[in-house]
């Protein structure tokens, strides 16, 4: 549900999409946003819907995915606080979303409609420069790494590569290691292996002291050993 007018960002949240804006410009953009709370496992944007909204995740975690013709979910990209999604709403030509976006824990986002963001892009061209920079350095780099892994690694190597990527992208540093909120089914889909392979591989690594498994979470205790797997 949307709530009251937005006047600022949470402490320590520095979205790359707003780099280079003055305090006055940022305040103008934020004042046009609405704040939304989403319950756990909510699909916010649906594949093929008109791209008419842009979101900034300010709390929680999300992911983008597509569904195959057979109904299998393919995870494309993971999101953490400070990242935008629904970026197709910013471009001049009306488009449809290429993927769906969902949040996993309960999350909060800021939202702008397409017309409003197009007006801001016209006033502050640096917004478009930032969006292009993010697309190249985050999304395309992620896709290249995944393609290389799928082409070069065996099943165990693909799971290891995915865990390291997730640790860098959505991992939370704890005193005992790096915690990732991810389930076996998601790992299987992301690494293009079976859930049985994921379960067996994680069990092997747990016996070796590399990680600890939990319900919907993995604690990487020695992530450096995954690179050598």
**192 neighbors 73 (Cβ within 8 angstroms):** no
Residue 191 CA to residue 186 CA, distance in Å, equals 9
CATH classification for the domain delimited by 2-142, as one of 2.60.120.10, 3.40.50.970, 2.40.30.10, 1.20.1740.10: 2.60.120.10
**86 neighbors 28 (Cβ within 8 angstroms):** no
User: pLDDT tens-digit profile of 11-38?
Assistant: 889 899 999 999 999 999 999 999 999 9
Do domains 2-142 and 153-227 share one topology? The answer is no
The domains of the chain are located at: 2-142, 153-227
Fold of 153-227: Arc Repressor Mutant, subunit A (1.10.10)
From residue 184, alpha-carbon distances to 115, 135, 157, 167, 216 in Å are 40, 28, 16, 15, 8
- Rounded to two decimals, the pTM is 0.76
What is the reported pLDDT for 88? 93
From residue 160, alpha-carbon distances to 59, 65, 140, 206 in Å are 27, 21, 20, 13
**101 neighbors 54 (Cβ within 8 angstroms):** no
pLDDT (mean) for 105-127? 95
pLDDT (mean) for 197-209? 95
Q: Which pLDDT band, with edges at 50, 70 and 90, does 149 fall under?
A: low
**Beta bridge pairs of residue 54:** 112
**Alpha-helical regions (H) of 32-154:** 114-123, 126-134, 141-152
């Amino acid at each position: 549900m949307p709530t009251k007018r937005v006047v600022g960002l949470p402490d320590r949240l520095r979205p790359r999409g707003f780099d280079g804006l003055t305090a006055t410009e940022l305040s103008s953009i934020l004042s046009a946003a609405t704040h939304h709370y989403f319950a756990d496992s909510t699909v916010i944007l649906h594949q093929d819907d008109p791209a008419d909204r842009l979101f900034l995740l300010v709390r929680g975690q999300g992911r983008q995915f597509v569904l195959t013709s057979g109904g299998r979910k393919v995870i494309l990209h993971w999101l953490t606080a400070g990242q935008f999604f629904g970026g197709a709403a910013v471009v001049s030509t009306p488009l449809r979303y290429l993927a769906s976006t969902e949040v996993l824990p309960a999350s909060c986002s800021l939202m702008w409609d397409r017309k409003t963001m197009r007006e801001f892009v016209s006033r502050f061209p640096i917004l478009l420069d930032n969006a292009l920079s993010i697309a190249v350095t985050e999304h395309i780099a992620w896709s290249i790494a995944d393609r290389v892994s799928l082409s070069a690694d065996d099943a165990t190597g693909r799971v290891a590569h995915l865990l390291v990527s997730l640790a860098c992208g959505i991992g939370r540093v704890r005193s005992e290691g790096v915690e990732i909120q991810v389930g076996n089914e998601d790992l299987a889909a992301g690494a293009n292996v079976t859930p049985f392979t994921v379960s067996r591989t994680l069990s092997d690594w747990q016996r070796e002291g590399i990680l600890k498994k939990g319900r919907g979470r993995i604690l990487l205790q020695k992530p450096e050993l995954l690179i050598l797997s």
